[in-house]
């Protein structure tokens, strides 16, 4: 994107569909239309990890649903571990969100809607790697 042009969901979808990660088959990119349009980036070579991306005002949000809250066997311990270690995950942070009719732990990142293409790719690839690390590191807290 140019320095004076902000991303829209349409322009971001077009870029992600044509980026190298999609062209070589590592990512599948799909536009999800509805009341709030978003983009689903499926990381094919990582167990179909799903990254939801959308432009909201002046920022781009990217999120991975980790696991439903009901799967956590010790929420106090998990929350304490996540809060203590979140600084080790560059460009990402944790939250709890409503999705699919239940609460989910999520890992997410945000960047400016004015970010360049490299910044967008860095955010998504970093979120992808962080999500994989988190899922592997916190398996013992799940039912």
| pLDDT at residue 4, rounded to an integer | 57
CA distance 107 to 85: 13
Per the DSSP assignment, residues forming a β-bridge with 38 are 32
Length of the chain: 143
pTM: 0.91
Joined together, the tokens standing for residue 23 give 């062209």
Quickly tell me which residue has 């005002």 as its tokens.
Answer: 57
Residue 1 confidence (pLDDT) above 90: no
Joined together, the tokens standing for residue 136 give 């592997």
Residue ranges covered by each domain of the chain: 9-141
8-12, 88-92, 131-135: segment of lowest average pLDDT: 88-92
Joined together, the tokens standing for residue 7 give 């991303």
CA distance 69 to 78: 11
Fold classification of 9-141 is Yope Regulator; Chain: A, (3.30.1460)
């Amino acid at each position: 994107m140019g320095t004076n042009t902000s991303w829209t969901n349409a322009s971001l979808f077009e870029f992600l569909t044509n980026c190298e990660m999609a062209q070589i088959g590592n990512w599948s990119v799909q536009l999800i239309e509805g009341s709030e349009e978003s983009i689903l980036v499926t990381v094919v070579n990582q167990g179909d990890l799903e990254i939801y991306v959308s432009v909201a005002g002046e920022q781009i949000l990217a999120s991975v649903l980790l696991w439903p809250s009901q799967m956590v066997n010790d929420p106090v311990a998990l929350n304490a571990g996540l809060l203590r270690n979140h600084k080790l995950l560059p460009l990402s942070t944790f939250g709890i969100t409503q999705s699919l009719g239940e609460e989910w732990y999520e890992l997410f990142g945000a960047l400016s809607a004015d970010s360049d293409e490299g910044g967008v790719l860095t955010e998504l690839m970093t979120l992808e790697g962080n999500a994989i690390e988190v899922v592997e590191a916190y398996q013992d807290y799940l039912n």
